[in-house]
Amino acid sequence: MKINVNGADIYAYTGGKTFNPEQPTVVFIHGVLNDHSVWILQTRYLAHHGWNVLAIDLPGHGRSGGKPPETVEEAADFVLALLAAMGAEQAALVGHSFGSLIALEAAARAPAQVSHLALVGTAYPMKVSPALLEASVQAPEKAIAMVNTFSHSTLCPPPSALGPGTWLYGGSRALMRRVLASNPKVNVFFTGFKACDSYAGGEQAMPAVHCPTLFLIGRHDQMTPPKSARALAGHARLAKVVEVNAGHSLMTEAPDEVLFALRDFLRN
């Protein structure tokens, strides 16, 4: 569905279901050069099991209009504006990588509006090497290859987003290329990485979050190493840590484990 937020048409995948105000709502926020489709198995399941799902494409990414957020704080304000546009008084926020910082900051800014916070493949600080930042502008194909290699941990993933026979290295690379091409005006690769790299509010934001917080960690994550996520969890009021056998692309490398962790967390 399309939602008008701050004058821009924002796309949200709903699992093919219409919004039901009687149901709890979960907003899924993707990472750099990703879109709603990275969550497809988890979101489709939840949408058919009693939740309203809004798996967005961030502004200026994929199917969404608007200007890509340049900072985590700007993106967090967008998420809160999205909730207002939907008339949702409260929602769970689930974010991956860059999206996890956005979810964290949004939950800190409006603690009463967030029922659950799930940080998937997270780290704080989320520094990006100068070489990768430069490559995202000067040689994006090379930077995509670097990110892709560091985001995967296995050559034999289980049946995943496209069913059995999905090759995750190829799928992630194709998606990153597609999202980069989706915005000819702004390099959303660089913008996203820059926002991650410059975010300095994590340690203040974490204790400001009132709701339960799930840290969903990939055991073999090379992009956002488990150690860094655990350090952030130390600042949370109500933290639950779940580690799954995957790299940074844990939603596709361990789709069932991620689903079960989210489902069990959101139920409580």
Partner 1 sequence: MPGYADPGFDTLALHAGAQPDPATGARAVPIHLTTSFVFESSDHAAALFNLERSGHVYSRISNPTNAVLEQRISALEGGIGAITTASGQAALHLAVATLMGAGGHIVASTALYGGSQNLLHYTLRRFGIETTFVKPGDLDGWRAAIRPNTRLLFGETVGNPGLDVLDIPAVAQIAHEAGVPLLVDSTFTTPYLLKPFDHGADLVYHSATKFLSGHGTVIGGLLVDGGSFDWDRSGKFAELTQPYDGFHDMVFSEESTVGAFLLRARREGLRDFGACMSPHSAWLILQGIETLPLRMERHIANTEQVVRFLAEHPFVAKVSHPLLESHPSHALANRLLKHGAKGAGSVFSFDIKGSREQGKAFIEGLKIFSHLANVGDCRSLVIHPASTTHFRMSDEALAGAGIGPGTIRLSIGLEDAADLIDDLKRALKAAEKAGA
Chain positions contacting partner 1, by CB under 8 A? 13, 16, 35-37, 40-41, 44-45, 48-49, 62, 145, 148-149, 152-167, 169-171, 173-175, 177-179, 220, 222, 247, 255-256, 259
Closest to partner 1 by CB, 42 or 115: 42
CB of 63 to partner 1, least distance (A): 8
Q: In this complex, which beta carbon is closest to partner 1, that of residue 208 or of residue 242?
A: 242
Question: What is the closest distance, in whole angstroms, from the C-beta atom of residue 51 to partner 1 in the complex?
Answer: 12
| Minimal distance, residue 256 CB to partner 1, in Å | 6
Kindly tell me which of 62 and 212 has the beta carbon lying closer to partner 1: 62
DSSP, res 218: E
Closer to partner 1 at the Cβ: 10 or 114? Answer: 10
Asked whether the beta carbons of 93 and 106 are under 8 A apart, the reply is: yes
> What are 163's strand-pairing partners?
160
* Cβ-defined contacts of 66-70 (< 8 Å, 24+): 66/5, 66/6, 66/7, 66/8, 66/9, 66/10, 67/8, 67/186, 68/183, 68/186, 68/188, 68/191, 68/192, 69/102, 69/191, 69/195, 70/191, 70/194, 70/195
Shortest CB 167 distance to partner 1, Å: 3
Q: Parallel, antiparallel, or unpaired: how do β-strands 8-13 and 52-56 relate?
A: antiparallel
What is the smallest separation between the CB atom of 166 and partner 1, expressed in angstroms? 5
Nearer to partner 1, 87 or 164 (CB): 164
